Amino acid sequence: MHTPDPAPTSTVFVTPEPTQAPKVYNTDGLVLEAQNVLLVRLADGNRGEQAIYAVNSDELIYPASTLKMITALTALDIVNPDETVQVGLEVYIPPLDCSRAGLEPGMTLTVHDLLEGLLLPSGADAAYVLGVYCGRQLEENDDLSFTDAIHAFVAAMNRKAEDIHRQQLREKGSGAMSLFAIGDLHLHFQSELKAPGQLHEPVWKNHDVKFKQNCEKLVKPDDTLVLVGDHSWGKKLPECEKDLEYICSLPGRKILLRGNHDMFWDAKKTEALNKQYAGKLFFLQNNYASYEDYAIVGTKGYTFEGPFYMRGNKIAGWDGVAESIAVKRIEREMERLRLSFEAALKDGYSRFIMFLHYPPTNVMERNSEFTAMAEKYKAEQVIYAHCHGEHRFHDSLEGRHHGIMYRLVSGDYLRWVPQQIL
């Protein structure tokens, strides 16, 4: 709202103190209890924005409500600013004497509008509308009660606060750990390299040297590095020993997931591999690994990759026999992933980061058995690899989908810089 121009008789001009905005109103009789004040006349067609009155306006102070700040940050993790929200009776949940943004049932607003109502007038009504909407998105239930939706959202707020605290500890160098991930190293110290892309594309030249240098810069000894499949071109374990020695030499605790090219690793021999490399590497299959209060779960996964029959730029059909084979492989991998989740649940874990080598969906899907399992167990993130080359980087989910963060961590996509997950 524009402040009206003052009457000429009431205007005085005062030389400002060095740290104060210029006073252009007579404020001699003004009595305020606040220690920090800034009153601004907004810009119009004839003049720019102008400070009218200021007291200690250049001091750093805490916002009026840190809870509203964490509400906004959590909401942006769950929904997009341009989503539209129908305001309901939840605006009457906070007491009437709370600060409000003036929302009424029946309004249709964007998340961006609600964030402005939350942060600018510190609107408690906007906070509850966001909380109910985001809680229902998290639970994928538009009919969820106000109470249950708010409980789901508050749980997400607490997780966000913990993540921020953890990040602050890392930045202060207080010993807090970090979780990194990358996939598709495709090492070949003892095996013949035949992959055309790896032979000729510049991004693969000396990639093992680049990756190790980046790890040594980013990954600390107490950090965890998850390698998301396709570690070696070797077909048998003796052909992979130097590749695995290279991985052992990387900083941090290393967790390995099976990839489709990891022929040396039979799923039935996971326990034997963990015994052989105890204290050096952990092989993740039908089990789980712990990271702070998270369980790291995963499996190779699988997705149908064709053959597809194209008509122009659109998929017109696909090979039915290949699809039926894919269905069986997906069922097998789903059971392995379920065993991983259940082992962690049995030991009391309730927070999960889920890893797959294959992408969770194919180019025709937005949802799959793997996304459904991530949602069933309330995984917070799904990390995957396998997609190589610019034309494949966007084959599957990226960003937030149904409240879960999806990330691609193929080595050539990341340019051999491990992705920090937590």
- Listed by start position, the domains of the chain span 1-61, 66-171, 179-420
Residue 213: beta bridge partners? none
Q: Which CATH architecture has domain 66-171?
A: 3-Layer(aba) Sandwich (3.40)
- Same fold yes or no, 66-171 and 179-420: no
| Under 8 Å between Cβ of 172 and 346 | no
Radius of gyration of the chain (CA): 28
Q: Please tell me which of 99-108, 136-145, 162-171, 394-403 the model is most confident about, judged by mean pLDDT.
A: 99-108
Q: Is the pLDDT of residue 376 over 60?
A: yes
Over residues 70-118, the pLDDT tens digits come to: 999 999 988 999 999 999 999 999 887 888 999 999 999 999 999 999 9
Summary mean pLDDT of the chain: 86
Confidence of residue 403 (pLDDT cuts 50, 70, 90): confident
295: left (phi over 0), alpha (psi -120 to 50) or beta: beta
pLDDT at residue number 199 = 77
Of 235-249, 292-306, 316-330, minimum mean pLDDT range = 316-330
Q: Is the pLDDT of residue 9 over 60?
A: no
Q: Is the pLDDT of residue 266 over 60?
A: yes
CA pair distance 145, 107, nearest whole angstrom: 19
Over residues 289-319, the pLDDT tens digits come to: 999 889 999 999 998 766 566 566 666 666 7
Helix/strand/coil for 235: coil
State which fold the 179-420 domain adopts. Purple Acid Phosphatase; chain A, domain 2 (3.60.21)
140: left (phi over 0), alpha (psi -120 to 50) or beta: left
Copy the structure tokens of residue 326. 């894919």
Confidence of residue 194 (pLDDT cuts 50, 70, 90): confident
Copy the structure tokens of residue 13. 């001009």
pLDDT at residue number 306 = 66
Q: Please tell me which of 21-30, 135-144, 192-201, 321-330 the model is most confident about, judged by mean pLDDT.
A: 135-144
- DSSP H or E run through 296: strand 294-299
